[in-house]
Amino acid sequence: MPLLLRLRKLLFSQPSLHYTPTITHINEHQQHHKSLTTTKKNNNNKKKKLSWRSCIDCYCWFVGYLCTTWWLLLLLYTALPSALPVLESPGHRLKHEGLHAHHPVVLVPGIVTGALELWEGRPCAHGLFRQRLWGGSFSEILKRPLCWLEHMSLDNETGMDPPGIRVRPIPGLVAADYFTPGYFVWAVLIENLARIGYEDKNLHMATYDWRLSFHNTEVRDQSLSILKSRIELMVRTNGDRKVVVVPHSMGVLYFLHFMKWVEAPAPFGSGGGPDWCAKHIKAIINIGPAFLGVPKAVTSVFSAETKDVAFARAVFPGLLNSNLLGFQTLPHILRIARTWDSMISLLPKGGETIWGNIDWSPEGVYHCDLAKRKLIAPLFDDKAFSSNRSDGRIGFRIEETTNYGRMISFSSPSAKLSTCGSKEHVKSTQTIPMKSSACRETWTKFNDMNEDQIRSVAENKVYTARTVHDLLRFVAPKLMQRANAHFSYGIADDLDDPKYSHYKYWSNPLETKLPDAPEMEIYCYYGVGIPTERSYVYKLSQSSKCNNIPFQIDSSVDGNERDCLRGGVYFVDGDESVPSISAGFMCAKGWRGKTRFNPSGLPTYVREYWHRPPSNLLGGRGKESGAHVDILGNAAIIEDIMRVAAGANADEIGGDQILSDIMKISEHIKLHL
Amino acid sequence: MLRRRKPEKKPEQETPPPALASVSVPASTTRPARWSCVDTCCWLIGWICVSWWVLLFLYHAAPASLTQQVTEAVTEAITGPMPDPPGSRLRKEGVTARHPVVFVPGIVTGGLELWEGRPCAEGLFRKRLWGGTFGEVYKRPSCWMEHMSLDNETGLDPPGIRVRPVSGLVAADYFAAGYFVWAVLIANLARIGYEEKTMYMASYDWRISFQNTEARDQTLSRIKSNIELMVATNGGKKAVVIPHSMGVLYFLHFMKWVEAPSPMGGGGGSDWCARHIKAVMNIGGPFLGVPKAVAGLFSAEAKDVAVARAIAPGVLDSDLFGLQTLLHIMHLSRTWDSTMSMIPKGGDIIWGGLDWSPEEGYDCNDKSKTDNVPHASEDFQARVDNFHLNKVNYGRIISFGKDIAETASSNIERIDFRDAVKGNNFAHLNASCHDIWTEYHEMGWGGIKAVADYKSYTASDFLDLLHFVAPKMMQRGDAQFSYGIADDLDDPKYKHYKYWSNPLETKLPNAPDMEIYALYGVGIPTERAYVYKLAQPAECYIPFQIDTSAKGGNENSCLKSGVYTVDGDETVPVLSAGFMCAKGWRGKTRFNPSGIKTFIREYDHAPPANFLEGRGTQSGAHVDIMGNFALIEDILRVAAGATGEDLGGDRVYSNIFTWSEKINLQL
């Protein structure tokens, strides 16, 4: 590339070399001779015109030059035989080992990765029938942003489509193989599975509208019924071999919901009988599971500031951070995100028992430096992280606990603070909506709050995983009202209580029992070694313009170098989106052995994968990545999935593979089992 | 990529121009002299690119509704007001989605994608080999041929290659980019409330035989399970099935399969169809086969099948590649079992013998009567003359020479070919011929001569002919399909799956409430019989050719370029599409013991008025009829709950009832 640039510069300068003064002089002379009658004024005019034209000419020449070189290179590139050494894919290797497709495989995509297309829309969406609104190139966002927003958001009362708009998930593997062109989600796994003989008949993508609450996907699209029917069909047509289910991210919760739904009796459930799962499912391989929710979901609902969720990155690269458009974009995102019920399914579950309270958290003594060191030590001579090592303080640890339990705090971490009783402001003064019309266009709920209320939120200083729900109920009452009808975040005291047969508990592993299927295996596969958001320091935002969100992550707060606090966010070990406590706890402790959540004693396995960033730009997203989505391209994880799909059991792939402190952390959690 | 890079680089280059501009003012007038050719070239490309981008940018920057309005206004100015699409109109009438809808695509319209291939197909994983852009045909033709053809013994995939049908609505909404198949119908159904959960595209691998789709892909099981699911999740409302072209036969097969007991069938019980299907709306159904399949299998010369048109427009006709391409196509299509499902069924009883045919006396110029009313009287006289001159012997599906085709049967001396010795393998040492498997090189000169000496073939003779010229292919075919007429439908042998797709050898299911529609276009000359000649011997060639020099006496004749045409939809003659619904199944017959109601809806072909209309909204052509507004409206109404009587019963333009009368079939 630099060579190309230099070459271009060289060539570009050449034409200007020709314009030597002598030549121009001669030229001028000639012109004078030829047109003696022309006045000076005219000449001036002409000069201006000519300079303008020559500038255009040069520009055109330059563009043409660029294009031609580009095309030539492209031509050369395509003409070259693709003899570049390609790393042997796991599928290739395992095929040589003699592995064959055995169990049918069901893939369950997570939030935002599934594509959505338009089936019926407002006049502004003319010509988009059956075109992707979500996924693909996202070109409509740039072309008609408001129209797009209108079609992507749901009705904020019912959580369903607004009248006259039908946006539906795309069925089939195409729905989530690539999120945008070139950004794979499931494609690598699918390709490897195909090598050992999988194809459409024994590989199914369980797509669903990830914006809806899980129960509503059945009510509106019958997605759960379709999934049930497909699994039954695949088991029947593949010689009664049970399926291996591979859910990812939120798909994990969706499949938990499915397992309860399929065995529940008819009005709410499908009436598949109590042994449906035992008869149809061999194993569930949860990838990057968000069993207990993610802290990131809190901020995305609270202030739309999830800095690195996949969708924000893909949709608005850079745009979010720009000051110019920032305060326009964020409220819009907040508005549509708040109409999506599924966001609420990702709120942290289990309250303070799991996530810690003001003074305590299970991760208590986690060292961010330590995580890094562990990550890089076996791999490189940590050149990339030499700055951390060079200060010589790496060996020197301070046993200082981080207050991860304080999920949202409105102060600097050092300040001593009072605990909160957040209930009090819920009941406070009646809402006085601001009457600005511009404000009402963007529905963010904050418009319904007045200054005092906003201040009272901030005065409460600290919110834990339990009180954060009260906070959200206060700032987004409609959202939480819908949420409470579809999801629950508690811990069951008595799982046999008849109230737990309601569907809103089905996606919470702490309020449901696993199905009675002693032979079924549950795997938790997730990446570790990436700092992952765990709790936040907030501040009130300065400007009080109407469209502004009154709360902001206080990005000026930084801890010292050893500290896990950076840019107002406390980090912990995880896969960039899901902290390992959420991904691993259920498999490591909650369901391990016979517990009240796992009465039939399903075997569970934890397999962790260290994150190793791609060594160079050519590595793309890496074959050893542990990041939340990129892990689907991780060669080790793909191999493990394929072995299980080809009939191996957990012992054959090596049982647990624990690299983080998940066991220790789980020990800290005092949950009655 | 390129476009995005441009703005980044621009500021970097902005620095030179100021200096440059001041100096080069007068220079630009003499630019051509000093700018080299390359520079000028670059300048030109740049200029084109820039203006293109500017236009593109303007186009995209303009609000979408505006561009839409402009294009609509332009179209309207030229063509007059556009008719409202039936979906929008019916929605205003209050018609809404009711019954779930199942589409069954026909041959060649379904997309196929690669799941496993040879090294030459590197990088094509899950890319379409069939459908879409067909880009690979040009890029690596031999690789493509290798992957598209099937094993010629088993009729299944060759080892190491897995080409599978695309699933979902995308499989057949568009065949190639911009060439719609089901898309228009889908869009109109969506307008009255249909969506993915109430529509299902029953895509299958159309290359392999119907029973093999179940054996290999479990396609029939999938269709069964999906219909059951849709009926269950839509409150028990039965499905409306819409098969097109060969999908009609496929769905006949499905209906027998689903009720047959388990080892061979789906084990759905004898009332499965009654419980799950409201209506079968067959579009352009070749119930009794198509004569075009004859020419296609015999000499790969079905001139206008979608295959040839899509793959090699023009190339086929060129002399340079002609021989090679045809051989390749023959090689390809002869490995496809499904093409044999379209061989004319029912033999001489349906298609006519040497001296008679049901369509006898059809006037090929019939269309001109309606077109040129003022000249009707002159025309009439001419037609009366023609009638006596051109009594076309449609029954002779293949005749060697125009004279044979026209003379009385007593004048034809036929020498039976069936026992003829095939003679020496005249291409025995030619490697290139062996690569291309057509079986003709195994026939020898003696065999070819014997075929030509038989002079004239009827529908029944033709089957023997195929057995003679392509024994391996017909061996596969006989295991999967049957072309006869059953004497006794209760004979236990008819439980075998090879009879299931032949309406003359099966009973319809016991479902008195079900309705069967035959929807097809009429008014287009359709291939019905051929005049053949022997081709000039060459090193490696197809020995028979359609005699394109054979022409009728005048321009009104049915014989053009060696092909006798009859009324139809360009591919399927009226007889094949309509006979079963007009007579074979009408009322209670032995083929329809429970008396399922049948309806015939014909759509008279009207070509698009001008280029802007695309493929027209009143077309009757085999595939284009899927965009016919009248047909779409009928389907929408039935899907929304109407019955055949609500639509107005039969709607007939052709002579289908008179022709059916002439067919002497025991019912």
Provide the terminal-to-terminal Cα distance of chain B, rounded to the nearest Å.
68
**A279 shares a domain with A183:** yes
| Last residue of one domain, picked from the residues A518, A547, A571 | A571
Closest CA to A4 of A80, A85, A75, A65: A65
Helices (H), A476-623: 477-486, 580-585
**A188 shares a domain with A106:** yes
Residues of chain B with pLDDT under 70: 1-35, 60-69, 71-72, 75-82, 300-327, 365-391, 418-442, 536-541, 552-556, 610-613
Instruction: Examine residue B663 and state whether it is found in any structural domain, yes or no.
Output: no
Supply B150's token pair: 């099937």
Domain extent for A312: 293-502+530-571
Q: Do B30 and A27 touch (CB under 8 A)?
A: yes
Domains of chain B: total: 2
Instruction: Examine residue A42 and state whether it is found in any structural domain, yes or no.
Output: no
Is A185 within 8 Å of A113 (Cβ atoms)? yes
DSSP code of residue B99: S
Q: DSSP of B484-547, one letter per residue? A: S--S-TT-GGGGSGGGTT-TTSSPPPS-TT-EEEEEEEESEEEEEEEEEEEPPP-SS--SEEE-
Q: Do B42 and A68 touch (CB under 8 A)?
A: yes
Distances (CA, A) of B305 to B300, B302, B351: 10, 6, 21
Can you give the length of chain A in residues?
673
CA–CA separation, A27 and B616 (whole Å): 62
**A465 shares a domain with A556:** yes
Decide: helix, strand or coil at residue A517.
coil
Instruction: Examine residue B428 and state whether it is found in any structural domain, yes or no.
Output: yes
| Last residue of one domain, picked from the residues A571, A602, A623 | A571
CA–CA separation, B181 and B625 (whole Å): 9
**A454 shares a domain with A321:** yes
Instruction: Examine residue B475 and state whether it is found in any structural domain, yes or no.
Output: yes
CA–CA separation, B117 and B125 (whole Å): 8
CA–CA separation, A352 and B222 (whole Å): 48
pLDDT tens digit string along A452-476?
777 777 776 788 888 888 888 887 7
CA–CA separation, A480 and A432 (whole Å): 20
Q: DSSP of B182-242, one letter per residue? A: SHHHHHHHHHTT--GGGEEE----TTS-HHHHHHHH-HHHHHHHHHHHHHHHTTTPPEEEE
For residue A317, give every residue at least 6 positions away whose Cβ sits within 8 Å of its Cβ, in sequence order, or none. none
Which uninterrupted H or E stretch holds B114? strand B112-116
Total CB pairs under 8 A between chain A and B: 184
Is B115 within 8 Å of B126 (Cβ atoms)? yes
CA–CA separation, B358 and B394 (whole Å): 8
For residue B91, give every residue at least 6 positions away whose Cβ sits within 8 Å of its Cβ, in sequence order, or none. B191, B192
Is B522 within 8 Å of B653 (Cβ atoms)? yes
CB nearest A16 (choices: B16, B190, B197) = B16
Instruction: Examine residue B312 and state whether it is found in any structural domain, yes or no.
Output: no
| Last residue of one domain, picked from the residues B537, B567, B597 | B567
User: What is chain A's Cα-based Rg?
Assistant: 29
Q: Do A57 and B29 touch (CB under 8 A)?
A: no
How many C-beta atoms surround the C-beta of residue B473 within 10 A?
Answer: 24
**A396 shares a domain with A478:** yes
Instruction: Examine residue A545 and state whether it is found in any structural domain, yes or no.
Output: yes
* B88 φψ region: left (φ > 0), alpha (ψ -120 to 50), beta (else): alpha
Q: DSSP of A107-124, one letter per residue? A: EE--TTTS-EEEEE--GG
For residue B16, what is the nearest residue in chain A, using CA coordinates? A13
**A219 shares a domain with A199:** yes
CA–CA separation, A484 and A473 (whole Å): 10
For residue A644, give every residue at least 6 positions away whose Cβ sits within 8 Å of its Cβ, in sequence order, or none. A103, A244, A283, A285, A521, A523, A650, A653
Distances (CA, A) of A266 to A225, A278, A488, B461: 12, 19, 22, 60
Instruction: Examine residue B192 and state whether it is found in any structural domain, yes or no.
Output: no
CA–CA separation, B557 and A247 (whole Å): 66
Q: Which of B167, B245, B333, B399 is catalytic?
A: B245
**A513 shares a domain with A428:** no
pLDDT at B15 (0 to 100): 42
CB contacts, 8 Å: B48 with chain A: 64
For residue A31, what is the nearest residue in chain B, using CA coordinates? B26
Q: Do B125 and A222 touch (CB under 8 A)?
A: no
Instruction: Examine residue A567 and state whether it is found in any structural domain, yes or no.
Output: yes
**A590 shares a domain with A546:** no
Instruction: Examine residue B513 and state whether it is found in any structural domain, yes or no.
Output: no
- Whether ipTM tops 0.85, in short, is no
Residues of chain A with pLDDT under 50: 1-28, 34-41, 82-85, 307-327, 370-399, 413-444, 544, 546-547
Q: Which residues of A are catalytic?
A: 249, 575, 628
Beta strands in A217-371 (DSSP E): 243-247, 281-287
**A286 shares a domain with A375:** no
**A538 shares a domain with A524:** no
CB nearest A60 (choices: B22, B46, B63) = B46
Is B496 within 8 Å of B363 (Cβ atoms)? no
How many C-beta atoms surround the C-beta of residue B602 within 10 A?
Answer: 24
Q: CA triplet A60, A65, A69: central angle to 5 degrees?
A: 150
- Which of B 183-242 lie inside 8 A of A, CB atoms? 186-187, 190-191, 195-197, 217-218, 221-222, 225-226, 228-229, 232-233
CA–CA separation, B604 and B569 (whole Å): 9
Instruction: Examine residue B386 and state whether it is found in any structural domain, yes or no.
Output: yes
CA–CA separation, B519 and B524 (whole Å): 15
Helices A467-475 + A451-459 axis angle, to 10:
170
Domains of chain A: total: 2
CA–CA separation, A501 and A479 (whole Å): 23
Is A102 within 8 Å of A193 (Cβ atoms)? no
Which uninterrupted H or E stretch holds B176? strand B174-176
> On the CB side of A639, how many CA atoms lie within 13 Å of its CA?
17
Instruction: Examine residue A49 and state whether it is found in any structural domain, yes or no.
Output: no
CATH number, domain containing residue A628: 3.40.50.1820
Catalytic residue flag (residue B513): no
Is B71 within 8 Å of B269 (Cβ atoms)? no
DSSP code of residue A520: -
Beta bridge partners of B353: none
| Last residue of one domain, picked from the residues B133, B164, B195 | B164
Is B83 within 8 Å of A143 (Cβ atoms)? no
Q: Do A191 and B126 touch (CB under 8 A)?
A: yes
**This prediction's pTM:** 0.82
- For residue B397, the distance in angstroms to the closest alpha carbon of chain A comes to 41
Instruction: Examine residue A416 and state whether it is found in any structural domain, yes or no.
Output: yes
Q: Do A27 and B9 touch (CB under 8 A)?
A: no
pLDDT at A52 (0 to 100): 73
CA–CA separation, A244 and A519 (whole Å): 13
Closest CA to A588 of A137, A200, A286, A361: A286
Q: What is the 3-state secondary structure (H, E, C) of A391-440?
A: CCCCCCCCCCCCCCCCCEECCCCCCCCCCCCCHHHHCCCCCCCCCCHHHH
Helices (H), A495-601: 580-585
pLDDT at A386 (0 to 100): 38
Closest CA to A245 of A276, A285, A205: A285
Is A587 within 8 Å of A595 (Cβ atoms)? no
| Last residue of one domain, picked from the residues B541, B567, B593 | B567
Q: What is the 3-state secondary structure (H, E, C) of B4-33?
A: HHHHHHHHHHHCHHHHHHHHCCHHHHHHHH
**A581 shares a domain with A489:** no
Q: Do A190 and B126 touch (CB under 8 A)?
A: yes
CB nearest B26 (choices: A24, A201, A237) = A24
Q: DSSP of A183-219, one letter per residue? A: EESSHHHHHHHHHTT--GGGEEE----TTS-HHHHHH
**A306 shares a domain with A245:** no
Domain extent for B146: 112-164
How many C-beta atoms surround the C-beta of residue A191 within 10 A?
Answer: 18
CA–CA separation, A475 and A298 (whole Å): 12
Supply B363's token pair: 């006037």
Instruction: Examine residue B127 and state whether it is found in any structural domain, yes or no.
Output: yes
For the purposes of burial, counting CB atoms within 10 Å of the CB of B287, is it exposed (0-12), middle (13-18) or buried (19 or more)? Answer: buried
Instruction: Examine residue A647 and state whether it is found in any structural domain, yes or no.
Output: yes
Q: Which amino acid is at B290?
A: V
